[in-house]
A = this chain, B = another copy of it.
């Protein structure tokens, strides 16, 4: 059978205990309920029926294994949340707690305080034992009950910290920087031969982690972003030659801008990092916007924060404290350029600029994301209890999979500008195919 580069998922060792889920749910150990390590999920689902088909990429399917590596009564698990907020963090924490506590019978579950900083003893934050009361209502609340921080900590320091507290399982919720940190930590752990599973749960409001079809919080972000676009549209309609300009998240990938455009149905131009659109000249944005205003008297432009960086060529960029390159402010720049252009063309316009920023990511998870977070959390527990490590929970075609962290952080996902998703944006906006 053909298998792709992603097939090697690390294991801590032999699984010696029957899964507590068998007793919990009244199932035999050979029930169809349990997932075998040989069950895989294909990456590609489309093929050309007129040609020979080759498949070279598939992933191990996530799910409960019939035998587990860890003895629940002796296991101490911990959760850490790193980086910026994302709708659904508390939901993931809650589902991890519930699955461990009720279904596997692991009673010692801890919350690491303030991200990886909470694994550095110098910071002075001790892991907090979690109880029902802590998590019970948390799925109704945005943010992270554990606090967060940015940037890496020394993997050896973190490994020693976990050893000294007797932690056997660590769930790392965070973006690609966090997952890189998780991998480094797992390597420090392996060096020490600790029986400690490190399982990543990908968190990115930009939806830009590979092999994660739809990261949690993304659907919520679209919903809220579309509310803001609606406001921009209403403002544009309410004024003569009204232009609504909305800046949305998306450092390197336009998923939020594109998705919110389809949800909104009221955007005329969607600008994403993947497409270096022309600003000036005949085929440029400004002229297209002028046509739109002359024909329809109002327009909405949505721009991802990472779009149009080619327009700043030669201007230096700075970094934030996690080491991410900061982008030039395309929203403010476009606002100025549009105003200047319309002034020069002698066409009065009425531009309203909206930048919702953190408002998109600090809210509670919506219905769809409550499903995704619940599953992400529980699949992570299944993987960890089975003794799998150095992997993160990905998803393909609504199935959850095990992705070696190394595979996941080797690249960033971008929007395929020839794919169905971008086609949908072109249909909705009617914008030029730059």
Seen from chain A, the residues whose Cβ lies within 8 Å of a Cβ on chain B are 1, 3, 24-27, 32-33, 36, 38-42, 45-53, 58, 61, 63-64, 85, 91, 94-95, 98-99, 102-103, 114, 117, 137, 139-144, 147-149, 213, 219, 222-223, 226-228, 230-232, 234-235, 237-240, 259, 262-263, 265, 352-359, 362-363, 366-368, 370-371, 374-375, 378, 396-400, 418, 420, 423-424, 426-428, 430, 432-433
Contacts and interface: CB of A to CB of B under 8 A. Distances in A.
A3 B49 CA distance: 8
A235 B141 contact: no
A40 B33 contact: no
A418 B49 contact: no
Given A42-B47, A95-B265, A223-B367, 18 more contacts: A40-B46, A45-B45, A45-B397, A63-B423, A143-B234, A143-B235, A143-B238, A149-B240, A213-B398, A219-B368, A228-B359, A231-B362, A235-B358, A235-B362, A259-B371, A352-B358, A374-B428, A400-B420
A103 B200 CA distance: 44
Contact of A427 (B27, B39, B357, B378): B378
B433 A25 contact: yes
Contact of A1 (B50, B356, B359): B50
9 contacts: A1-B53, A25-B426, A25-B433, A85-B234, A91-B265, A147-B240, A148-B239, A235-B362, A352-B358
Contact of A117 (B143, B144, B240, B263): B240
Given A238-B144, A359-B356, A428-B374, A46 B418 contact: no
Contacts of A99: 427
Given A45-B42, A46-B41, A418-B32, A147 B427 contact: no
A231 B363 contact: yes
A256 to B, nearest CB: 12
Given A50-B1, A240-B114, A366-B223, A420 B374 contact: no
Contact of A367 (B263, B352, B371, B399): B263
A58 B398 CA distance: 18
Given A1-B53, A45-B41, A46-B39, A367 B370 contact: no
A100 to B, nearest CB: 11
A311 B126 CA distance: 43
Contacts of A91: 265
Contacts of A117: 240
Chain A to chain B: the 7 pairs with minimum beta-carbon distance, closest first? A397-B397, A223-B367, A143-B234, A231-B362, A38-B50, A234-B362, A40-B49
